[in-house]
Amino acid sequence: MNKIPATVITGFLGAGKTTLLRHILTHAGARRLALIINEFGDVGIDGELVRGCNEEACGEDDIVELANGCICCTVADDFLPTMQRLLDRPEPPEHIIIETSGLALPKPLIKAFQWPAIRTRASVDGVIALVDADALAQGRFAHDEAALALARAADPTLDHDTPLEELFEDQLASADLVVLNKTDLVSNETLERLETELATQVRPGVRRLKARHGALDPAVLLGLCAAAEDDLDARRSHHDGADDHDHDDFDSFVLTGGPVASPEALLAALEPVIRAHDILRVKGTVAVAAKPARLVLQGVGPRLQHHFDRAWKPGEAVRTQLVVIGEKGLDESAIRQALTRVIAS
């Protein structure tokens, strides 16, 4: 029996996974796809952003959202039943694409394809790791040598890098294909340096492609035939040997409120808060006073982007909903307080 190929898209928060997914969808033609979209925060934003991209390839029922934590921690409870339901359909999808949360470790997910109920019917076609060239160039995944030396002096048994660095390395080490995305944000010299660095972090023979806004032909992304579940041992992880792991290193919460006066007012309030609290990711939809359309807000580190994506639907709650993610210790109440002025409740 032919196995259904499944592509896993990994990459740190904001690297461009949903953007790549949207690009695949809009260029998928009539190939019947199913999407499993996983998010760290309690509120799913990404599913909402890919809906309607290509109804022919992927309708409402073909998009399954798994919010409430990282897929790597809820494999048995969420992912396996979801996969089984997709595979049991009278007309199963031709290809399944799984967008993991930016904080997910890919390996436990790949391992799930070894489960007997899945193994005979589906295979990991490839793990695609997206890298945010801008964030990498700014050293956002690298450890601070001096701080690490101090921490090790205080605790000589300390052998791990920062949580961000570990995750980044795990995601790269599990990849069959690496996409260095957001190349529009860095110079050619920087790009060259990043490519050289990346070459040392991936498994031998893994292809690296450059992209802007994930604009790559689906023909180079899908159909890698890697069967990643068969060579798990070659994909090293900082979490190998651990029976379990959690995401205690990261915090997230949802800000919900009424309309903002203008996109500019929201940005002016958000920018200093992101910097002061070292917020890693903000994303969501925003109601703007007197505007019939909803605003999509995207923040990756200090970089904020926004656009109106569609009119509010009749009966839809016109409100602002932002997911905020940061490292452990994020001061939720201070952040809420700083933003209550612009996001009225």
CB of 71 to ligand GTP, least distance (A): 12
CB of 44 to ligand GTP, least distance (A): 10
The answer to whether 128 contacts ligand GTP (rule: CB under 6 A) is no
CB of 158 to ligand GTP, least distance (A): 28
161: tokens are 């890098």
R_g of the chain, CA atoms, integer Å: 20
The answer to whether 186 contacts ligand GTP (rule: CB under 6 A) is no
CB of 204 to ligand GTP, least distance (A): 26
Question: Distance between terminal CA atoms of the chain?
Answer: 55
In a 13 Å sphere around the CA of 242, the CA atoms on its Cβ side amount to 13
CA angle 194–46–58, rounded 5-degree value: 105
The answer to whether 235 contacts ligand GTP (rule: CB under 6 A) is no
Task: Determine the residue type at 24.
Answer: I
Distance CA 84, CA 69 (A): 20
In a 13 Å sphere around the CA of 263, the CA atoms on its Cβ side amount to 14
Cβ closer to ligand GTP: 87 or 288? 288
CA 89 to chain CA centroid, Å, is 27
**Residue selected from 4, 6, 7, 19 as contacting ligand GTP according to rule CB under 6 A:** 19
Find all residues with CB under 8 Å of 29, minimum gap 6, and list them. Answer: 56, 57
Cβ closer to ligand GTP: 73 or 300? 300
CB of 70 to ligand GTP, least distance (A): 11
Site string for ligand GTP, 85-124 (x = CB under 6 A): -----------------x----------------------
Write out the residues near ligand GTP by the rule CB under 6 A.
11, 13-19, 46, 102, 181-182, 184-185, 212-214, 281, 283, 298, 300, 305
